[in-house]
Amino acid sequence: MDRDENLFVMKIMNLNSSKHAIIRLFNVTMRYGAKLALNDVSVDIQPGEFIFISGPSGAGKSTLLKVLYLAEKVSEGQILINGMNLARISPAKLPLLRRRFGMVFQDFKLIPGRTVFENVALVLEVSGEKPSYIRKKVMHVLRTTGMEKKANALPLTLSGGEQQRVAVARAVVGDPDIILADEPTGSLDQASAKLVLDFLMAYHQKGATILLASHNLHLLESMVRGRNIVLDQGQLVKTSTLL
């Protein structure tokens, strides 16, 4: 097979692969005034991938996650989630879209006045699940994350690592297709960070697609097997495989 034939076959393979992508970004640009937070980003993400989004502070990592779950609307370009164009989604369908996502934030975003159990259960309550199912599912997830004994504790009585484990439990309790994690280990010591990544990897092994934004390349290179997308000044400058 000559060079032109090789290129043709690769093009067809890429086209077929793109048809099955769970997330597609086409020339996505995000502006905040004169500042370009994302600059012409195009990428396909396949179901079940573990995507590590790296880059320096201000590179656009958090912004990329925000536009995926419509916390922000892009200035230009298109985003498809399972074939659904985010630019055309109606307000009525937005909650249904967001249920497909589980979110993990660096600052946890737990509700201070609610217990660990109540913080995690809220995801299922909003979805209209029965109380008996909620109790069973929440306690199962808390056992998995090692937080069962803290079910009745308030978030501010927990360590940072414990709060992040609760945040991971909240992210996975609704069995989302996609987990978006924004610097989930940024404020944790190495032992706590490893625990959080272990939980995310365990959920990934069940088939979830995970996008994790972090500047801690050293920690993740030692644990994560997936694809690294590197951003710099809002541009996608490199992709590589973490082995």
Domain map of the chain by residue range? 47-71+94-242
Residue 135's pLDDT is 97
Residue 30, pLDDT above cutoff 60: yes
DSSP per residue, 198-219: HHHHHHHTTT-EEEEE-S-HHH
**Residues whose CB is less than 8 angstroms from the CB of residue 83 and which lie 6 or more positions away in sequence, other chains included:** none
Output 228 or 215, whichever has higher pLDDT. Answer: 228
Q: In whole angstroms, give the CA distance from residue 49 to residue 43.
A: 13
Tokens encoding 110: 């737990």
Distance between CA atoms of residues 243 and 240, nearest Å: 10
Mean pLDDT of all residues in 57-68: 94
Whether the predicted pLDDT of 218 surpasses 90? no
- For residue 186, is pLDDT > 80? yes
CATH code of the domain made up of 47-71+94-242: 3.40.50.300
Residue 95 binned pLDDT confidence (cut-offs 50, 70, 90): confident
Mean pLDDT of 48-55: 93
Q: Is the pLDDT of residue 14 over 80?
A: no
The pLDDT assigned to 2 comes to: 47
Per-residue pLDDT tens digits for 108-167: 999 999 999 999 999 999 989 999 999 999 999 999 999 999 999 999 999 999 999 999
Lowest mean pLDDT of 117-121, 212-216, 217-221, name the range: 217-221
Average pLDDT, the chain: 88
CA dist 100 and 188 (Å) reads 27
C-alpha torsion 131→133→134→139, nearest 10: 130
pLDDT above 90: percentage of residues in the chain: 69
DSSP codes joined into one string, 155-181: GGGS-HHHHHHHHHHHHHTT--SEEEE
